[in-house]
Amino acid sequence: MDIELSPADLQFQQEVRAFLTEHAYQPGMDEGQWRRRWFAAAAAKGGWDVPRWPRDFGGPGWTAAQHHLWDLETAAHTLPSDSPFGVTMLAPILMAYATPEQQQRFLPAIRARTVQWCQGYSEPGAGSDLAALKTRAVLSAAGTHYVVNGTKLWTSAAHLADWMFCLTRTSEGARRQQGITFLLIPMRQPGIEIKPIITLGGRHHVNMVHLTDVKVPIENRIGKEGEGWTYAKGLLQHERVGIANIARSAVALAELKRAARQLPCGSGCLLDDPSYRLRLAAVEVDLMALEFTELRSLAAISAGLPVGPESSILKLKGTEIQQRIQKLALEAAGLRGAEWGAMGVTTDAAREAFESYLIGRASTIFGGASEVQRDVIWKNVVRLPQ
């Protein structure tokens, strides 16, 4: 995509490239140490460790073009592993709704990546229909803590997390969205039982979490009791922008084109195959269109406007594009797999493509299923007369 880059933007791009090269992972490095050093160096650059945080909270205060360039450059490099739950999803909610004491208590550790978070929203019977959630939080007679009972489902990385941000029901309102309360729950305490769920491809990433008489101090409630739905919705919008992963798709597509140019197919290469070429070109066009949508969204954020329901467009189209690229990569790997298999060579690339394909199936479900995004877009963005 060609956007109008100013000389200052081009200089910024060079600076990012130099940073990423200087701090790139080298084989044999201790990964934990590299990760700590990488984030410390990024922080020393002036908030590069928390690119989307506002300047008031230590973020870099970049323009839309700078965010775009950062995403493009980082997507082409191996970065230290970084969970989205704290830095991307919870932090903006704390900035908007937590007390200064709560911000002081939680934000520094989120930024330092010393505390891991998980998201306790979904439950059996409450996924797309999240307002149906039944996990109950009852305030103690003394008003000092809540007692939480219920079950959370599909909780990513719960087994690795120190804390969960959790939606609980504290009362039944006239509307189901009322009476939901946003609590921060330490994971390592009695009454929390985590059961692994093994997904397609044999991975342990998601869990079922049972909460039985779990005590949560009142200081761990964010905002007002019963108003958690408002905070939860805001958080989902941040989650959706992150899931779109547009820059990563651009890198994956470029790699796929390179591979398709090299892979023998018939008398030429895979890229000569009209059906494959057409599908590749169609994804490329859709990705370019989505990049412009993302830039509009980034420009709004840089201007201090909140992330809006446009995040649903990014999530919907971004994940569909990811899956189309993963499918094309799987097809390409299939060709290579057959060829390499006949030569008795192990097929790591084919296995990688297959794993990405399987893992990628979930991206149109988590963070709100595609059908639900279409509904959000219809109601909030299109605003056609009823």
Q: Which residues are catalytic?
A: 239
151 lies in the binding site for ligand FAD (CB under 6 A): no
Contact 334, 350 (CB under 8 A): yes
DSSP per position, 90-145: IHHHHHHHS-HHHHHHHHHHHHHT-S-EEEE--BTTBSSSGGG---EEEE-TTSSE
Residue whose beta carbon is closest to ligand FAD: 127
Nearer to ligand FAD, 348 or 371 (CB): 371
Minimum gap (Å) between residue 205 Cβ and ligand FAD: 6
Q: Is 312 helix (H, G, I), strand (E, B) or coil?
A: helix
- Closest by CA to 258, choosing from 339, 167, 363, 332, is 332
Site string for ligand FAD, 330-369 (x = CB under 6 A): --------------------------------x--xx-xx
What are the φ/ψ torsions at residue 383 (nearest 5 degrees)?
A: 50, 45
Minimum gap (Å) between residue 79 Cβ and ligand FAD: 21
CA angle 214–220–226, rounded 5-degree value = 90
Minimum gap (Å) between residue 162 Cβ and ligand FAD: 15
Q: How far apart are CA 351 and CA 150, in angstroms?
A: 39
Minimum gap (Å) between residue 175 Cβ and ligand FAD: 16
Residues 192-221 touching ligand FAD, rule: CB under 6 A, are 206
Strands (E), the chain: 117-120, 136-139, 145-153, 163-169, 180-186, 192-199, 203-217, 221-222, 264-265, 268-269
Of 74, 88, 155, 170, which one interacts with ligand FAD (CB under 6 A)? 155
229 lies in the binding site for ligand FAD (CB under 6 A): no
Minimum gap (Å) between residue 185 Cβ and ligand FAD: 13
- Closest by CA to 368, choosing from 194, 200, 111, 154, is 154
Q: Which stretch binds ligand FAD (CB under 6 A): 213-221, 241-249, 299-307, 370-378?
A: 370-378
Nearer to ligand FAD, 48 or 165 (CB): 165
Residues 51-70 touching ligand FAD, rule: CB under 6 A, are none
112 lies in the binding site for ligand FAD (CB under 6 A): no
Q: How far apart are CA 72 and CA 255, in angstroms?
A: 14
Of 106, 154, 276, 357, which one interacts with ligand FAD (CB under 6 A)? 154
Residues 118-137 touching ligand FAD, rule: CB under 6 A, are 118-122, 127-128
Burial class (CB in 10 A: 0-12, 13-18, 19+), 180: buried
Catalog residues that contact ligand FAD under the rule CB under 6 A.
118-122, 127-128, 154-156, 206, 362, 365-366, 368-369, 371-372, 375
